[in-house]
Structure 1
Amino acid sequence: MSSFQQVHSIDSCSQGSLDDAEKGIYDSTLESVAPPPFVYTSQRREAQLSRLQSPTSPVHEGITPCTSVPELSLPQPIKLNTSHIEVVEEPVKKPVTIKAKISRWILFELWFNVYRRFFTFVVLLNLVGIILAALGRFKYAENHLGALVLGNLLCAILMRNELFVRFLYLLAIYGLRDWAPLRIKLAATSVLQHLGGVHSGCALSGAAWLIYKIVDIIRYRAVQHPAVIASGIVTNVFIIISVLSAFPWVRNTYHNVFEKHHRFIGWLGLAMTWVFVIMSNTYDIKLGQWRTDTHSLLSAQELWFAVFMTVFVLIPWVTLREVSVEVEIPSPKVAILRFERGMQQGLLGRISRTSIMEYHAFGIISEGRKATHHYMICGVQGDFTKNLVVHPPKTVWTRQLKFAGVGHASAMYKRGIRICTGTGIGAALSTCIQSPDWFLIWIGSDQERTFGPTITGLIKKHIEPERMILWDSKKRGGRPDSVQLLKDTWKSFGAEVIFITSNMQGNDEMMQGCRAAGLHAFGTLWDF
């Protein structure tokens, strides 16, 4: 593995003393420790005191050493009866941190973000359509229920497709960068970041329309073929299971369960969709027989929705490859993976030890598209990342088509700030390496020891000292006031936008502070 070998000789003191910053825990600032009480309890200490209190000492002159405050003192030391004196340990007083009060309106705005607005709009729009269809006032739905089902599901697939999302970012960056005012750029970035709201809303709405369609078929089961009804019910079950498995409490608590059901049951649902579309469009309910001509099938809207759904599902998997990887382990909490070829900034990649199971996404660090390598920082948080450290792989599976994170939109802006904590540097560093107009703020604990020479070397090589703040909470005795740090950097650097990569607590604090201060910021997004 040449010079990029695994580092196994780790300082023993670092094994158990890694700060919570690496874990993404937003710890508090350093606590000041009060000095112990100045109580003399031995004859030896009394002798030392008597020697110190000479006639020419500052105490004898009525002055406490190192201060100008007068203090009453005796000209001769007296014997102290110390038998009854007890040493009392004073409790450590924590510094009082006064946080700025955030208005309820700001908290509501951050909660009801564009993701939730998209989700609410899409679901309500489809709900109105279902109600109108049930009342007989939606003529299109009477003849094209299947198209409404598959149209929603196709839209849901597109919002999570690497190629389509990269295309949207391309349009926004090259279409808005040179002429658009800041307000439009911010709106476009917000839309791109929250496309997941459209994905969730369309998936749920598609399932709702599918239920409505099956109910409609069952109502007229006397003239419908049993095979059509059966295929519709099976399709419905698969789609509903796939949608329910993606609910936040399932996805966050049982990630592997979510992945298996959402992916594999979703694929089965897609296969059954083909069966249902073909059967429902080739059976003539008026004549009560199957049609053999292909014209009616090819002219059906449902067929072409199914075609595009299949194409966009397959595109990312066509680029799946098993690639060589070199692993550096600078500390027990982090694995640095190195891959061949360079990348654009703001991209993320999914990797797995198997071809179709347990994919995990990480930010990509690269010096540019013409670079020879790119890197991923994998912080130990679960079984998958733990095994990267304990049993470093020589190859991993990955899709060569990478997907764009919100950091990819940084190319639209003239100047900006990229702030991150701990392993968030993996998603942030490329932007500041590849663009001299971005300022890096990295908050962590003992970064050089924790993340190793490769990452710190890239920072020192490509980012000037005046364009970065590396806050080592271990050396500086705690974390900074990140909001104040952002305010100061915003003014001095002349930034027009801030991108944040942090854990939930740190992200919320910075987003609230930036919104209250009128700073344009985009934080880490957790799907809801």
Structure 2
Amino acid sequence: MENVMESPPIRFSSCRGISFEIKPHGDPFAIPKSAKEDEPNFRPLSISYWNMLQRSFSKASSSSHFCDLDLDIHDPSYYVVDEELVDVVVTDRKLPRKSKKPSRLSVILLDQGLFTVYKMLFMFCFALNVVGLVLAATGHFPCARNRAALFSIANIFFLTLCRSEALLRAVFWAAVKILGRSWVPIRIKTAATSLLQSLGGIHSGCGVSSVAWLIYSLVLTLNDWPHTSFEIVAVASAILSFISFSCLAAFPVLRHLYHNVFERIHRFAGWAALGLLWAFVILTTSHDSKTASYNFQDGIALKLVKSQEFWFTVAITVLIILPWLTVRKVAVNLSSPSDHASIVRFAGGVKPGILGRISPSPLSEWHAFGIISDGKTEHMMLCGAVGDFTKSLVSKPPSHLWVRGVHFAGLPYLVNMYDRVLLVATGSGICVFLSFLLQPCRADVRVLWVAKGIEHNFGQEIKDMATRYPKEKMIIHDTASMGRPNVSKMSVEAAKKWGVEVVIVTSNPEGSRDVVNACKGVGIPAFGPVWDS
């Protein structure tokens, strides 16, 4: 199918509700202007490549963090690319150069800044391990040289620890209890917030470091081949393959474009590596290098108990199994106020700032959403219909869903650490903040919510939850009737007006970035979701 675009700015919107615009400049995801464009017989080129990229974006998992302002698809200046289209034909002949709106991918990966806390934590962990490797290789760290595999296992333990939702829930709770006092300096609170929301940097840094240590261990083992075991080398090589495969799948570009694939690789490759790790620990403990044989009987249990590798592996296993022990299938009450959103209800009250995960198939995919609750008898999730799973909640509402019994704490939970906070939300991003309006919390909360067709898209119930909050503490901007605002400017003005300590925003990547940068530009601490938060 060939369609020639008109002259107004052209924006491509994926089925996730995220906008992508073709730009005539050096962006790596832009379609370059052809030199033959001015020739008399020039015809726009049918670009199936763009569709493949578009489909890749559509496969990315939706997140409660990314909540966009809805596009007006009836505006002729926008062109919505449906995921079922086979070919899209574009010409950038008349695209205005001043319209340079970055894609969601470039915002996430290329526009987060060089010295973010996440990247600094990654570099710190990786650099610390590199120093240890260099010292071990040069003979100045004999413990690491003799037990390189132990250092690899220790890194796997710490990366698993940083992703334990039960442990992180306790850490966030402790941070709020200890630092959530008026006399604690705001700089300490904001530093703690930056650290806690960027723990993924430690996770990824330890993951890459574990690969480096395992490679070093294999090199040393192969250099001592006459005294080693083929089985140990084979198992260690398999572990290295699985961990390396997981690291490659987690590379930001691949993870963003193929999130569901990344999630499954990370899960199943991790489980396979854990099973092989147990085999590795048992083999190395029972192997006698002098006789090049195995002894699985005489004192093997005592040797395992005395082995540090054994206890690290036990801890890793417990951390991985623990969340799965809470997984259960529950009945849900699901309603759809419109074709754009659904509300999923569960029994039991939940505290403000908590998020939960639901799944139609627990082994394949999990989706995180903010939880709305008055803290009494029930809680619910507002799910914007922007992906395959969330759209199915509207078109084919299920009677049961899989849930994890342990809800996890994220950036919104840290609202309780401050005295006065401005919460900025766009679209369905309001869901993670509504609990602060429905039940008492430590912070004096002020809210700015920008969305399109609030009652039509989100229903009367959600609108009532927001409008019942004191008007002097709430700004609601409906773009359907009030037009598109400058959310960054509104956020700065509201923060100054209310004299807040910090601004927390939940929007799409570009929107979050703009609000955070605008607030920081005038000296107001601000936080939004970070990549891999």
Give TM-score scaled by structure 2 length.
0.77
Q: Distance in 2 between matches of 1:445 and 1:387?
A: 22
Shift of 1:295: 2.5
Structure 1 residue aligned with 2:342: 335
- 1:322 corresponds to: 329
Partner of 1:261, secondary structure, is: helix
Which blocks of at least 5 consecutive residues in structure 1 are unaligned? 1-18, 32-93, 98-106
Residue in 2 that maps onto 1:507: 512
Q: Deviations over 1:427-451 (max 9, x none)?
A: 2222343336101111001111110
Pick closer, same or farther for the CA change 1:196–1:254 going to 2, 3 Å.
same
Superposed CA offset, 1:6-46 (max 9, x none): xxxxxxxxxxxxx9999714879xx9xxxxxxxxxxxxxxx
Supply the distance in 1 between the matched residues of 2:510 and 2:407 (Cα, whole angstroms): 28
Q: Give me the CA root mean square deviation.
A: 2.4
Which residue in 2 is equivalent to 1:486? 491
Match of 1:226 in 2: 230
Check if 1:162 corresponds to 2:206.
no
* Between 450-459 and 307-316, the greater mean CA deviation after superposition: 450-459
- Structure 1 counterpart of 2:250, from 243, 246, 263: 246
CA distance in 1, matches of 2:71, 2:265: 36
Match of 2:68 in 1: 24
Q: Is 2:175 the partner of 1:131?
A: no
Q: Is the 8 A contact 1:407 1:431 kept in 2?
A: no
Bigger drift between 444-453 and 237-246 goes to 237-246
Residue 140 of structure 1 corresponds to 143
Matches within 5 A, 1:354-369: 354-368=361-375
Determine if the alignment matches structure 1 residue 262 to structure 2 residue 266. Answer: yes
| Superposed CA offset, 1:165-215 (max 9, x none) | 111112211111124211111111111100011111111111211111112
Q: Write out per-residue CA displacement over residues 140-170 of structure 1, whole angstroms, 9 at most, x where no aligned residue.
A: 2023212211111111011111111111112
Does 1:475 find its partner at 2:481?
A: yes
Per-residue deviation, residues 24-74 of structure 1 (Å, max 9, x unmatched)? 14879xx9xxxxxxxxxxxxxxxxxxxxxxxxxxxxxxxxxxxxxxxxxxx
Instruction: Report the CA distance between 1:481 and its aligned residue.
Output: 2.3
Residue in 1 aligned with 2:283?
279
SS at match of 2:532: coil
Residue 371 of structure 2 aligns to a residue whose secondary structure is strand
Q: Which protein is bigger by CA-based radius of gyration?
A: 1
- Residue identity opposite 1:522 in structure 2: F
Cα separation, 1, equivalents of 2:266 and 2:218: 22
Residue 334 of structure 2 aligns with an amino acid whose one-letter code is: V
- State the alpha-carbon separation in 1 of the partners of residues 275 and 122 from structure 2: 26
Match of 1:190 in 2: 194
The residue correspondences of 1:431-510 to structure 2 (distance < 5 A) are 431-434=436-439, 435=441, 437-461=444-468, 463-478=469-484, 480-510=485-515
Shift of 1:315: 0.9
Q: Is the 8 A contact 1:365 1:376 kept in 2?
A: yes
Give the superposition deviation at 1:139: 1.6
Offset at residue 111 of structure 1 (A): 4.2
Are 1:350 and 2:394 counterparts?
A: no
Query: What percentage of residue pairs aligned between the two structures are identical?
Result: 39
Q: Is 1:519 aligned to residue 497 of structure 2?
A: no
Instruction: Tell me the alpha carbon deviations over residues 277-317 of structure 1, each in whole angstroms, 9 at most, x when there is no partner.
Output: 11112112123332431322211111100000000111111
Query: 2 CA distance for matches of 1:172 and 1:338?
Result: 30
For residues 269 and 67 of structure 2, the distance between their equivalents in structure 1, rounded to whole angstroms, comes to 33
| Aligned equivalents of 2:477, 2:18: Cα separation in 1 | 14
Deviation at 1:255, TM superposition (A): 1.8
Q: Equivalents in 2 of 1:139, 1:432: separation in Å? A: 58
How far apart in 2 are the matches of 1:451 and 1:339? 18
Cα deviation 1:73-93 (Å, max 9, x = unaligned): xxxxxxxxxxxxxxxxxxxxx
1:108 Cα deviation from its structure 2 partner: 8.5
Q: Aligned letter for 2:291?
A: L
Residues 365-404 of structure 1 mapped to structure 2, 5 A cutoff? 365-368=372-375, 371-404=376-409
Q: 1:20 to 1:384 in 2, by over 3 A?
A: closer
Aligned CA distance change for structure 1 residues 111 and 26 (closer, same or farther; 3 Å)? farther
CA–CA distance in 2 between the matches of 1:281 and 1:432?
57
CA distance in 2, matches of 1:285, 1:311: 31
Q: Which stretches in structure 2 are left out of the alignment for 5+ residues?
A: 1-16, 20-65, 76-95, 100-109
The one-letter amino acid of 1:24's match is D
Is the partner of 1:474 in helix, strand or coil? helix
Confirm or deny: 8 A CA contact 2:69 2:426 kept in the other structure: no
Q: Is the 8 A contact 1:336 1:375 kept in 2?
A: yes
Q: Which residue of 1 aligns with 2:116?
A: 113
Q: Give the whole-Å Cα distance in 1 for the aligned partners of 2:526 and 2:309.
A: 41
- Say which SS state the counterpart of residue 226 (structure 2) adopts: coil
Whole-angstrom distance in 2 between the partners of 1:374 and 1:110: 37
Please state how far the C-alpha of 1:109 moved relative to its aligned partner: 8.1
Give 2:174's aligned residue. Answer: 171
CA contact (8 A) 1:444 1:471 kept: yes
Whole-Å separation in 2 of the counterparts to 1:424 and 1:477: 19
